[in-house]
Amino acid sequence: AVVSTQSTGTTAKLFDAKTFQFLKSYKTDRPVNSAAVSPIKHHILLGGGQEAMEVTTSHTKSGKFEARFFHLIFEEEIGRVKGHFGPINTLAFHPNGKQYSSGAEDGYVRIHDFDQSYYDFEYDF
């Protein structure tokens, strides 16, 4: 079992849940507010975006309010999902791994279903 941490910085970290040993780090160019680990794939999902106090002074495209998928082991970004118009504050995978939800400061909770390409994707190393 693992546990993730994130703060006002641009990094999420993964730790062993029993020993609290540091395992991995995932770096973005925007604040990370939430993270979730897939129950079926070697993926971690990060959400955040531009600082909330700066949102009203810039265009929504510059806020980068995207959910970002990283390979859990190799620490590399492998995809993004757009959809929110404010910083993402919470993420969660469904226990069956076939959906995830995201909640943001735009006032919406979005439920995302994965299409077949998500299951077919294999990381080349």
**Could you report the per-residue pLDDT of 67-120, keeping only the tens digit for each?**
999 999 999 999 999 989 999 999 999 999 999 999 999 999 999 999 999 999
**pLDDT at residue 57 is higher than 70:** no
Token pair of 4, please?
Answer: 């993730």
Backbone φ and ψ for 61, nearest 5 degrees, come out as -65, -30
Residue 29: CB atoms within 10 A of its CB come to: 6
Q: Tell me what the mean pLDDT of segment 15-39 comes to.
A: 95
Is 91 exposed, middle or buried, given 0-12, 13-18 or 19+ CB atoms closer than 10 A? Answer: buried
| Helix residue ranges, H only, the chain | 116-120
Would you say the pTM of this structure is higher than 0.85? Answer: yes
CA pair distance 20, 106, nearest whole angstrom = 34
